């Protein structure tokens, strides 16, 4: 054998080949398969991109001679194709200790700010250079730091709201720790991701005030000290008492706070879509009832808190799900854009501030994803949408006055966008099955584009599996379902392979996209390199397909989704190279619920399942999410009983591994603990693993341990 190798090397050297002819492509390590796409195998792109207000200048961070430098691209609109002029702006000096070049946000054309630790820095650009100065240093325990263009700063300390305007001022004075001001409410549902709302000119500060005193305490044990410590949180479970939220407005000129009169008699509702009017006189709040089937868009006087009027109402027999605030366009202060699913798909409608519907902007059996920008001159809106396919996202220009739509981007795949202030240019960052990442600046008229960066394929040297796009028909016999089949590397159609099904199949999530990598996950490809067929599919209930597709699961979470996933199983069993006796299933969170449901309700199908952070009894999950899809337990006892997995433990036939983070405050640990107690009571064997100190997900280097644990469990059960 050594002699043959020596002869081969001699031939290679003689023929002048650069590498041995038998060189094979690389296999993924578990570290690469788990975290590689965010680290060593990440696609190349630009950093800290932004459009400078009031200009046609685009900024991003690059390196020059090994040092970080702000690179600018200035577009001059001379002729049909604007000239692109590239330049550099040196970072300038920063007061205090700064690691690298911090990213910044624009205040106006000539000024920007950045937050470095608790230091807020103000930068002024002049003669191609930023001059930075220390604006203020916030307290060490400051959180939710929000810097306004007025240079006023709002932040929270513990449960109270503060503001900096030449000096630090305490805005709220709550002495009960369970009354929280200035933070996100309703457990981040309804598109809510903050609790601080500066008015357009920065003259006033609106904020959420959340009273949780009536919500039951829930214990989260912290295990990193001896003895362990108890962290009491407020966790409103389905059917239980929820917190009460109001919206307050602080006037710093007089130091006075008023509360919007959103309902003193009935506070068991949700305050969403908080939006200031451009003239700062009014605040709009979408109030959603506890049943989540009746929404009122109300207008309030910001100075007095009095309700001015209800502009309009939206109702649905199942649920209304608002996730966007109002969009007022420059120069159109008496009109706003409202997002609605009233025709079954998320589309845009124009209303005036008296509540009259003026026109709709988009229509069709597809959803709008984002509003990106506005071209006042052309009277057009820049959006992204799933118009071409629910598997892709593209950039469009649509008419404000007339109903028209034009696609701006090029290339298949998933496009994201940011727009210049005047709406004439858009940064298009996209990827597709054969496109790792392209960064392009385009004119919104669609007449030209400028390539900023094309990423090489970071996976080119690896042994990649064949991936097949699959379209099946749902259990209703009509609805198309999209999935992906990943075949083992060195695939032999005459062999029989074990299969792993990965799934989520819950609301607001979409797994299957025409994106890079085409498989959707390098761990799938790792499994394929180790002899597995991998299958994943979005069944009814998942996102980006419209209300009919999503609401099919109403009041019976898990039932319709399992029937759709079983259509995937039927497909897999029809393939001659699939070993139906060696099938595994894995998912996390809602996918963990689906995994456990399949193992207990279809016990003869899967030989093994791994369920991470699973919901096992919907009565123990949060009010806002659960009651939207299941109603409350008092009104839907049958639905809750059928979807609960606690009383179905005795059905288990295959191997089941449950995994949970001990500090999970999303799907609380009690789900798994109660399930294990049922296993003991029923004499059923199940396997279990916990991640100490982790909340709902295991991230970073420890995620490698998690994925190795899951893979080993499948290997032990499915490998001959």
* Interatomic CA distance for residues 235 and 668, integer angstroms: 9
Exactly one of 62, 119, 428, 664 is catalytic; name it. 664
Q: What is the pLDDT of residue 15?
A: 36
Exactly one of 211, 316, 530, 696 is catalytic; name it. 696
Go through the chain and tell me how many residues it has: 720
Q: What is the pLDDT of residue 568?
A: 98
Annotation says 519 is catalytic: no
For residue range 203-225, list pLDDT tens digits in order: 999 999 999 999 999 999 999 99
For residue range 81-105, list pLDDT tens digits in order: 677 888 888 777 788 787 778 889 9
58 within 8 A of 80, measured Cβ to Cβ: no
- In the CATH hierarchy, which fold is given to the domain comprising 344-456? Neuraminidase (2.120.10)
Please, what is the Cα angle at 361 between 543 and 418, to 5 degrees?
65
Burial 44-76 (b: 16+ CB within 10 A, else e): ebbebbbbbbebbbbbbbbeeeeebebbbbebe
* Interatomic CA distance for residues 686 and 698, integer angstroms: 21
CATH number of 467-718: 3.40.50.1820
298 within 8 A of 288, measured Cβ to Cβ: no
* Interatomic CA distance for residues 368 and 384, integer angstroms: 6
Quickly state the pLDDT bin for 13 (edges 50, 70, 90). very low
Domain locations in the chain as residue ranges: 46-115, 344-456, 467-718
List CB contacts of 473: < 8 A, sequence separation 6 or more.
479, 480, 481, 567
Regarding beta strands 83-89 and 67-76, do their DSSP bridges make them parallel or antiparallel, or are they unpaired? antiparallel
244 within 8 A of 263, measured Cβ to Cβ: no
For residue range 134-181, list pLDDT tens digits in order: 999 999 999 999 999 999 999 999 999 999 999 999 999 999 999 999
Exactly one of 199, 589, 597, 672 is catalytic; name it. 589
Annotation says 664 is catalytic: yes
Position 707 pLDDT exceeds 50: yes
CB 402: neighbour CB atoms within 10 A? 10
* Interatomic CA distance for residues 354 and 364, integer angstroms: 27
* Interatomic CA distance for residues 156 and 143, integer angstroms: 5
Position 11 pLDDT exceeds 60: no
155 within 8 A of 164, measured Cβ to Cβ: yes
Q: How many CA atoms lie within 13 A of 542 on its CB side?
A: 28
* Interatomic CA distance for residues 595 and 611, integer angstroms: 6
Find residue 450's DSSP bridge partners.
441
Report the Cα 36 to chain-centroid distance in Å.
20
Annotation says 443 is catalytic: no
């Amino acid at each position: 054998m050594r002699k043959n190798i020596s002869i081969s090397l001699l031939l290679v050297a003689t023929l002048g080949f650069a590498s041995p002819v038998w060189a094979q492509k690389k296999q993924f390590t578990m570290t690469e398969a788990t975290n590689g796409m965010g680290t060593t195998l990440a696609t190349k792109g630009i950093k800290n991109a932004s459009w400078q207000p009031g200009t046609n200048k685009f900024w991003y961070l690059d390196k020059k001679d090994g040092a970080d430098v702000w690179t600018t691209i200035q577009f001059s609109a001379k002729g049909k194709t604007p000239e692109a002029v590239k330049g550099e702006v040196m970072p300038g000096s920063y007061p205090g200790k700064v690691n690298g070049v911090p990213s910044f946000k624009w205040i106006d054309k000539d000024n920007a700010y950045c937050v470095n630790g608790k230091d807020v820095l103000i930068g002024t650009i002049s003669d191609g250079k930023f001059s930075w100065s220390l604006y203020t240093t916030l307290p060490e325990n400051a959180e939710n730091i929000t810097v306004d263009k007025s240079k006023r700063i709002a932040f929270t300390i513990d449960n109270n709201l503060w503001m900096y305007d030449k000096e630090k001022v305490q805005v709220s004075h709550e002495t009960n720790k369970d009354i929280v001001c200035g933070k996100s409410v309703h457990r981040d549902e309804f598109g809510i991701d903050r609790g601080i709302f500066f008015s357009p000119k920065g003259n006033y500060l609106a904020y959420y005030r959340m009273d949780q005193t009536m919500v039951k305490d829930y214990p989260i044990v912290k295990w990193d000290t001896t003895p362990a410590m108890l962290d009491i949180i407020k966790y409103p479970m389905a059917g239980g008492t929820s917190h009460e939220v109001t919206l307050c407005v602080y006037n710093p000129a007089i130091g006075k706070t008023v509360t919007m009169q959103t309902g003193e008699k009935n506070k068991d509702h949700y305050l969403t879509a908080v939006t200031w009017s451009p003239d700062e006189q009014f605040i709009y709040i979408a109030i959603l009832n506890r049943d989540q089937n009746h929404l009122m868009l109300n207008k309030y006087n910001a100075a007095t808190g009095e309700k001015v009027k209800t502009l309009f109402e939206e109702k649905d027999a199942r649920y209304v799900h608002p996730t966007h605030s109002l969009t007022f366009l420059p120069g159109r202060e008496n009109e706003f854009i409202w997002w609605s699913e009233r025709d079954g798909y998320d589309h845009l409608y124009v209303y005036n501030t008296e509540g009259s519907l003026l026109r709709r902007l988009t229509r069709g059996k597809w959803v709008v994803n984002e509003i990106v920008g506005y071209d006042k001159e052309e009277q057009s809106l820049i959006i992204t949408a799933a118009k071409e396919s629910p598997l892709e996202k593209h950039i469009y220009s649509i008419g404000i006055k007339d109903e028209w739509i034009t696609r701006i981007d090029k290339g298949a795949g998933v496009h994201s966008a940011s727009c210049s202030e005047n709406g004439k240019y858009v940064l298009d960052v996209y990827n597709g099955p054969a496109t790792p990442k392209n960064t392009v600046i385009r004119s919104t008229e669609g007449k030209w584009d400028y390539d900023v960066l094309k990423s090489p394929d970071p996976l080119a040297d690896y042994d990649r599996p064949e991936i097949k796009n699959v379209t099946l028909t749902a259990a209703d016999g009509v609805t198309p379902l999209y999935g992906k089949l990943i075949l083992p590397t060195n695939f032999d159609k005459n062999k029989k392979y074990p299969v792993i099904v990965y799934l989520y199949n819950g609301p607001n999530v979409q797994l299957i996209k025409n994106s890079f990598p085409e498989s959707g996950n390098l761990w799938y490809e790792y499994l394929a390199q180790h002899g597995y067929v991998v299958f994943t599919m979005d069944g009814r209930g998942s996102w980006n397909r419209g209300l009919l597709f999503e609401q099919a699961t109403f009041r019976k979470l898990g039932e319709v989704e399992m029937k759709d996933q079983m259509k995937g199983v039927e497909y897999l069993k029809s393939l001659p190279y699939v070993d139906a006796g060696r099938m595994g299933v894995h998912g996390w969170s809602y996918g963990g619920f689906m995994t456990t449901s399949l193992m207990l309700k279809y016990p003869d199908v899967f030989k093994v399942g791994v369920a991470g952070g699973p919901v096992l009894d919907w009565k123990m999950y949060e009010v806002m999410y659960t009651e939207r899809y299941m109603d409350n337990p008092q009104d839907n006892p049958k639905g809750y009983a059928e979807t609960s997995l606690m009383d179905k433990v005795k059905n288990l036939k295959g191997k089941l591994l449950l995994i949970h983070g001990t500090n999970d405050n999303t799907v609380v640990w009690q789900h798994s603990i109660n399930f294990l107690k049922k296993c003991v009571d029923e004499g059923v064997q199940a396997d279990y693993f916990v991640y100490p100190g982790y909340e709902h997900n295991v991230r970073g280097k420890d995620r490698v341990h998690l994925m190795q644990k899951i893979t080993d469990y499948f290997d032990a059960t499915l490998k001959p």
